[in-house]
Amino acid sequence: MLSGLVLAIDQGTTNTKTLLVARSGLTVFRASHPVALIHRSDGFVEQDPILLWESVCMGIAECLRYAAQASQSIDAVAISNQRETALAWDAETGKPINHAISWQCGRSAEICRRMKPHAASIRAKTGLPLATLISAGKWAWLLENSEAAQASEKAGTLRLGTVNSWLIHQLTKGTVHVTDFSNASRTGILNLESLTWDAELLEAFKIPLASMPDLRSSSGSFGQVCALPELDGVPILAAIGDSHAAMFGHGKYAAGATKATYGTGSSLMSLTPCLAADLPALARTIAWSINGQTQFALEGNIAMTGAAVQWVGEFLQLTDPAQRAVRLAASVSDAAGVYFVPAMVGLGAPHWDSAARGTITGLERSHTAAHMAHAALDAIAYQVADVFLAMQQAAGLDLPALDADGGATRNSALMQFQANILGKPVLRSVNEELSALGAAWLAGLALGWWTSLSQLEELPHHADQFLPAMEATLRDRLYSGWKSAVKHARLLAEASE
């Protein structure tokens, strides 16, 4: 039997993808299974941990069938995952204590208000603003509101983790409770300087250290699979947050490399030569850790990009809302002066204004639903530009280009508008499973398939290039209009207080 495949799992917000990646660094098989979000009447957003696991098992089964037919073995498992989503389970029973609290869920708002005296310390130590996004607030909410979580904590069997930790728990039958530094850096309780769970912040959130996973490099041992007979004994050799994995999959590892992942929300990441000083507009994070060497980055998160297009489609009562909204937008050449600021859950980077609310400005009698749909797509590019320009200013250098990945990048008109608004080339990866691929490459490093990042840089990296093709005066006028619309969204929030 020929050796040489990594089984990569990318467990995302709306889909679980599973890939088989060969020693060439290329994908030889892929499968995808949708997963559901639970939108509760109280506004909470959850997912069923068992269904997440079952979606992974379905993908693994397809990969195993392909590997058997191709007479190839699977050498390792790699995991990338949606970040900040918080889970809790009992070590003794192995069962979830509660539904997973989605990264989108704002139920920890009251806890964040109470934690305001610690906001400066959280930012200084963890690189993150105090916000409902971070996992720590979600775990704190569970510990305050779930009797089952309280009982498990009292019994000493409580386990807390992000999606990667839950999947590793399932794959290893509960014998391993770990996470990697990239996922840990999104929780709001990892100290970026000491690379440990911060005792003071754990105490402030009332989270027991004993329930937290052990910390490991993104490439290395995360235990062996024993829950699935066909993979028995296969090592888990990589775990990394999906946005970080996509950054790794672009194959550019020098400081200044910058990428945007376009999904339900969007994440921009720019590699830095060391841990940057605290910056109010951006988060600091760990991109990945390999062989004890930590790669730091600046990051900016946007809550609603693809979700904004989906919302407009639903608002307009379109069937298949997102896709129909995109087609509707394509029926007009531009938004004709309409600006849509999708701040329905506040504004993320670089504004960090949780009070801001969505607005539509610039409407005239001649505007149609198509202009509104076009404005929703434009809002993706404008929000990405806000973060990119903040990163450029923070880095103190001219960032040469933006690497792009994610579902929305299939829209070439959006990519061209992005290049126009940035005045920079946009390089769209042709690989739609970049997060899974990045995780697979990290496992390949642990297997010894490659011995350096420079070897990964030499692998084929195919991208479509979009060059700016807009007069500077028009670009400045359009972007100035966007900034005015954002200011309006924030002023409205202040006026309603």
Q: 251: helix, coil or strand?
A: coil
For 295, other C-beta atoms within 10 Å of its C-beta total: 23
What percent of the chain lies above the pLDDT cut of 70? 98
Does the pLDDT of residue 494 top 80, yes or no?
Answer: no
> CA torsion sign, 216 to 222 to 223 to 226?
positive
Q: Which of 42, 112, 138 is nearest to 355 (CA)?
A: 112
Given this model, what pLDDT does residue 140 score? 98
Q: Which domains does the chain have, with CATH numbers?
A: 2-242 (3.30.420.40)
pLDDT in tens, 193-224: 999 999 999 999 999 999 999 999 999 999 99
Q: Model-level pTM greater than 0.75?
A: yes
Q: Which of 353, 336, 337 is nearest to 345 (CA)?
A: 353
Does the pLDDT of residue 495 top 80, yes or no?
Answer: no
The torsion of the CA quartet 203, 205, 209, 211, rounded to 10 degrees, works out to: 150
Given this model, what pLDDT does residue 40 score? 87
pLDDT in tens, 414-447: 999 999 999 999 999 988 889 999 999 999 999 9
Question: Between vectors from CA 146 to CA 144 and to CA 149, what angle results, nearest 5°?
Answer: 95
The set of residues, in sequence order, having a beta carbon less than 8 Å from that of 166 and lying 6+ positions away, is 49, 52, 53, 87, 89, 96, 100
What percent of the chain lies above the pLDDT cut of 90? 85
Does the pLDDT of residue 47 top 80, yes or no?
Answer: yes
Q: What is the average pLDDT value for the chain, to the nearest integer?
A: 94
The side-by-side arrangement of strands in the sheet containing 426-429 is: 283-290, 293-302, 266-271, 258-262, 402-405, 426-429, 463-466
Task: Determine phi and psi for 250, rounding to 5 degrees.
Answer: -70, -20
Q: Which of 385, 468, 479 is nearest to 427 (CA)?
A: 468
Given this model, what pLDDT does residue 497 score? 54
**Which residue matches tokens 């190839």?**
72
- 462/464 Cα distance (integer angstroms): 7
Q: 373: helix, coil or strand?
A: helix
Do 23 and 134 touch, CB atoms closer than 8 A? no
Given this model, what pLDDT does residue 493 score? 61
pLDDT in tens, 115-135: 999 999 999 999 999 988 899
- What letter does residue 117 receive in the DSSP assignment? G
How would residue 462 be classed by pLDDT, with cut points 50, 70 and 90? Answer: confident
Given this model, what pLDDT does residue 398 score? 85
The mean per-residue pLDDT over the stretch 67-80 comes to 96
Hey, what are 63's tokens? Answer: 């990969």
- 100/174 Cα distance (integer angstroms): 17
The mean per-residue pLDDT over the stretch 387-415 comes to 91
Given this model, what pLDDT does residue 104 score? 86
The mean per-residue pLDDT over the stretch 274-297 comes to 93
Does the pLDDT of residue 2 top 60, yes or no?
Answer: no
The mean per-residue pLDDT over the stretch 464-473 comes to 96
pLDDT in tens, 130-149: 988 899 999 999 999 999 99
Does the pLDDT of residue 1 top 50, yes or no?
Answer: no
Distances (CA, A) of 1 to 7, 72, 73, 318: 16, 6, 7, 51
Given this model, what pLDDT does residue 272 score? 92
